[in-house]
Chains A and B, each alone.
Chain A
Amino acid sequence: MKGVWGRLLEVDLTAGTSRSIEIPEKVYRMFLGGRGLATYLLAREFSEKWRFLDPLSPDNPLLFLTGPLTGYYPGVKLSVSGKSPQSNSVIGSVVSSEVAIELKASGLDGLVLKGSCEKPCYVYVGNGKVEIRDASSIWGLGGLKLVKQFNSLLKEDVKADPKTPFVYIGPAGENKVRTAAVMAKLAHAAGYGGYGAVMGAKRVKAVAVKGYGSLPPVNDPESLNTLFRSALGNIKERMKRFRQWGTTEGTWHTGYYLSSMPVKNWSEEWHDVKDFSHVGFELETWVKNPWADWGCPVACMKLSIAKWRGEVFITDNPDYEMAAYLGSNLGVFSPRGAVILSSLADELGLCGIQTGNVMGFAVELYEKGILTRDEVGYELKWGDVECMAKLMKDIAYRRGIGEVLAEGTFRAARLLSEKKGVDLTKYAIQVKGIAVGAHGVRSGKDYPQPISYALSVQGGDHTSVAEFPVNSTESEAWYSILDSGVVCMFTVLDDSTLLEYLNKVTGWGLDLGEFYEIGRRVITLQRILLLIGGPDAEWSAEDDDNPPRFYEPLPTGPYKGSALKREEVDELKKKYYAEMGWGEKGIPSEETLRRLGLEEFTPMLNMLH
């Protein structure tokens, strides 16, 4: 086996034991690693029982996986997966973390956590050997304080190397907030999916990994080295602007030119506040430019600082998504304000997208008089950083109205609709439990297409959109390959180069058709798990739709009046089902499963008919 070890480490937190799981090469060839492998392992283990698996129960495995390209392709990403407490399916969430490299240098392709600790714990994997240790002294902490104290604890408790990387949760994860992220390095987050809550439900505060071995051998080291050098040079040259601005450039480009940025819970998608731009962030908040994670030639990260009321707030850029969701979506149009809220989200261990989305939902309900001051405890006002900070903390600690909002937008809308006796789901900008990424559809000027979110097996995830043609870099198949590889989308070249890379690493000799078939296989299996769903949410073809707001005309900006057309969405939906072999109701057919080598999962289809 080349490029992978064929081995995962499974840790039973309840029993305090661990074992090695061998993965045959055939499985890697079919699913690669990361998102694909997680989907396969979960479907195999739970099959028809998937519907009854509570994502926040100890039975839900939490998987930290690498892929065959980890360590060889420029950059480093760790895949975090399990049954998502947001979508009740599998979300392939990724975070930049050297834990991925350390796993491979430990002779492992990944780590699977099962069960739960009786009291707060952390997991340390030192050169392949696992220890489950007491984390009581760091429970409750987040951000810089946590990182510093955990570094000391690792050194004292397990004599870990001072440079041992780790992923962790903040208070939000501990409180099983469904919008909690798995964090790394202060400002990095595996946000989509809500896996911070899964980790919190297991009472695992952090996972630290240090390996001292080599990476697994590759099939063709010499030509891989040549390809690596040429890819590195190409990426570095091409991504110069990213090095300068990161994705923060979108704050102006997407907001002003494309009119596709969430403004006040997506009631608008356009702004013309010139200071709320990449240049504004640079002038007002950036102190370091740029920085990168291991092996990344792009270096799109910055370091931002904002002072407010005697406190110092530190975060990364923030990137476009954070600036959008913790800025314009809350009516905050100042770089300083967005940095303060991004830094707070980092400290609390919250996903900025999912949390900014549910906060915008709450503020709109307040503005409309549906939520009252008595229920919230204070006034909610667009653009008011102080009340937004208060609301965010209430969510992280499940206090007051935060208890409902901590369930995420989809569930909060459902709960509040029941409580108020009116349908509030029309204010919920989410698809299948996942808040929609900060790229709108209505102006037709940004990249998402009418079915991008509606048909994605990861709901509103803007990094996994469903588009045509399916066998191309436009499609969700492509993004599922990147998440299974596991590689960062900002360091990729085209599909033929990535395939050439994969073949040099693994020696599989796949052609482009087989390459895209991997992506189709992954999303088809994800689709089955999504449709089975449960236990508290189930989806059907009717849910293959956009948030109702996207059918309302844009009220402002150069594309005022533009909206999605339902007939167009319906037509594309049918076309996509047909292209994917998913049948009229969006259910993958037996024939499709056979063609993709997924016959063993055919019995799961019985639950869907």
Chain B
Amino acid sequence: MPRICGKFSWIDNREVCIQYDKCVRVAEALTDLLKQVEKKTSIEAVVARIGGKLLSSSDIICEDSSITIVRVFKGG
């Protein structure tokens, strides 16, 4: 039952946490975390890391984790 926290680099490193009751895909966690803070940024525009590891959207997280989320492009 992982507790996943996301730190958003472009919102003064604001941190939001969500408690899941089972393992969760990175794409789903990012969508949920983003919804908590704003609706302008899509998950396509962000890159996530846990520590030094770059996460892929299909990675699965089963343990408590702190994700650093960086927005790499805007608009289109």
Contact = CB atoms under 8 A, between A and B. Distances in A.
B40 A490 contact: no
Contact of B39 (A258, A319, A474): A258
Nearest first, the 7 A-B pairs at minimum CB distance are: A247-B76, A447-B74, A489-B73, A494-B47, A237-B57, A494-B70, A238-B57
Given A238-B56, A238-B57, A474 B71 contact: yes
A472 B8 CA distance: 12
A472 B9 contact: yes
A429 B70 CA distance: 31
A437 interface: yes
B73 A238 contact: no
7 contacts: A234-B54, A447-B40, A472-B9, A474-B9, A493-B72, A494-B47, A495-B72
B22 interface: no
Q: Is the interface of B mostly helix, strand, loop or mixed?
A: loop
A494 B44 contact: no
Contact of A494 (B39, B42, B72): B72
B75 A463 contact: yes
A234 B75 contact: no
Chain A's interface size range is 35 or more
Contacts of A495: 70, 72
Given A237-B58, A240-B57, 7 more contacts: A234-B56, A258-B40, A437-B75, A490-B73, A493-B47, A493-B54, A497-B47
Contact of B76 (A250, A257, A448, A497): A250
A239 B44 CA distance: 5
A240 to B, nearest CB: 8
Contacts of B75: 250, 320, 437, 439, 446-448, 462-463
A383 to B, nearest CB: 24
A562 interface: no
Interface of B: 9-10, 27, 39-44, 47, 49, 54, 56-58, 70-76
Contacts of A268: none
Contacts of B42: 241
Interface string A219-263: 000000000001001100111111000010010000001100000
A320 B76 CA distance: 7
A257 B39 contact: yes
Contact of B44 (A241, A437, A447): A241
A492 interface: yes
Interface of A: 230, 233-234, 237-242, 247, 250, 257-258, 319-321, 437, 439, 445-448, 462-463, 465, 472-474, 489-490, 492-495, 497
A242 B46 CA distance: 13
A447 B41 contact: yes
A379 B44 CA distance: 43
A465 B47 contact: no
A445 B41 CA distance: 10
Contacts of B44: 238-242, 490
Contact of B72 (A233, A241, A473): A473
A237 B76 CA distance: 19
Contacts of B49: 494
B4 to A, nearest CB: 17
Contacts of B57: 234, 237-238, 240
Contacts of B43: 238, 241
Q: Specify which of B43, B47, B71 lies most central, judged by the most chain A CB atoms within 10 Å of its CB.
A: B47
B73 A492 contact: yes
Contacts of A447: 40-41, 74-75
Contacts of A234: 54, 56-57
Chain B CB within 10 Å, residue with most, of A238, A472, A492: A238
Given A238-B44, A474-B10, A445 B72 contact: no
A147 to B, nearest CB: 25
B76 A490 contact: yes
Contact of A473 (B39, B54, B58, B71): B71
Contact of B56 (A237, A241, A463, A494): A237
A403 to B, nearest CB: 32
A93 B28 CA distance: 35
A493 to B, nearest CB: 5
Nearest to A246: B76
Contacts of A247: 76
A575 B16 CA distance: 28
Contacts of A492: 72-73
A185 B47 CA distance: 30
Q: Which one of B10, B40, B75 has the highest number of Cβ atoms from chain A below 10 Å of its Cβ?
A: B75
Nearest to A300: B76
